Each structure stands twice: as C-alpha cells, then as structure tokens.
Structure 1
Amino acid sequence: MPGLSYLPAEHLILLAGLLAMVGFLAGWLADLILKEEGFGIIVNGLIVIAGALLGFMLWARMGYPVGNNKQFIAALVTAISGVLLLVSCGIGRRFV
C-alpha cells in the first residue's frame, strides 16, 4: 500500500487500532447475521477485513472508473467484497 512507509508511528498505531475495531465490529455483525453458521467474532472479522482488502486491491488493479465520489465507491466495494468472502468461506465450510 503506497504511503504507509511515510506515515509517522503514531498514525500507524492509530490505523492498526482502527482496523482492529472495524474488524471486531464486522465480526460481531457477521456473527449476528450468520448465527451458528459463522466462524466466531474474531475469525469473521479477519475474513471480512481480508476480503475488503482483496476486493479494493482488485478493483484498483482492474482500473474501473469510480466516478465523482471515490470514497463512497471504495467503501461500497470493500464492504461487498468482505461480505462475499465471508459467505464464500461459509459455503466452502459446509462442503468440506
């Protein structure tokens, strides 16, 4: 991710804390939605964050236009890709 190496240590710590809080929140929400089919709060959060990062990197790599509101489109893409990865892992867990 470009630019992370230039951030001061305080900002990197804040970013890591923010990612952890968002991960726990996403894991908790996914656990509420999936009930017994989920992986637990922590693993759900990690899967959603991993899916969000992968989805954002793929979206940027493919070079799709994002229009005027880049932050909204990026948030939408990351949320959808995170949930899709969690659902895919849940479906894969049933068959394995």
Structure 2
Amino acid sequence: MPNNNKPRKTWQYSNEVKVKAVMLSLIEGIQVKEVAKTSNIHHFILSRWRKEFQERKIVADKRRKLTDVVSKTEKEISRVKSLEAEIRKLKQELDL
C-alpha cells in the first residue's frame, strides 16, 4: 500500500481569476463544464464559485473592466461556434 504521508497540493486562485471564470459561465449558451475545462479547474469548483459570487463572498474588483474581457470572450466563442458549424457543413459536402 502506498505511503500517503505527503499533504495534497491545493491551488490558490485570485479573486480576479474566480470572477472571470464565473462571468464566463454566466454567458448564455456557455456551459459550466466548458468554462471549467478551458480554465483547467473542476466544474464543482466553478459551481461553488458561482454560488459564492451570488452570495457576494467573491466580489469583482471595481477598478478593472471585466466587461471588456467578457465581451472579447463572447466574440471568440461565437467565432469558434461559427467555425465549427462551417466545418460540419464542409464535412457533409465531402460525404456526398
């Protein structure tokens, strides 16, 4: 049996990282699992952050413009979705 005397590594995330992930997960059409996967965190952690954000335990820094980050990300997501649709269309044309 392996020796488990070593403590597990716990990651510390800044408030900015938490708020950014929560704001991205609140965008319509985006799933929590997708945001968690791209942020390299477990979706349970992101769900907990969302709950803490609603309870005002996690607060965005008023000095930073998170709306700019979110709007850029929304544009990137819509671009990726349109490219994926185009790929599906091209694959269907090749199969015919």
Is this a same-fold pair by TM over 0.5? no
TM-score after normalising by structure 1: 0.35
Q: Which has the higher helix share?
A: 1
TM-score after normalising by structure 2: 0.35
Larger RCO of the pair (alpha carbons < 8 Å, separation 6+): 2
Bigger radius of gyration among the two: 2
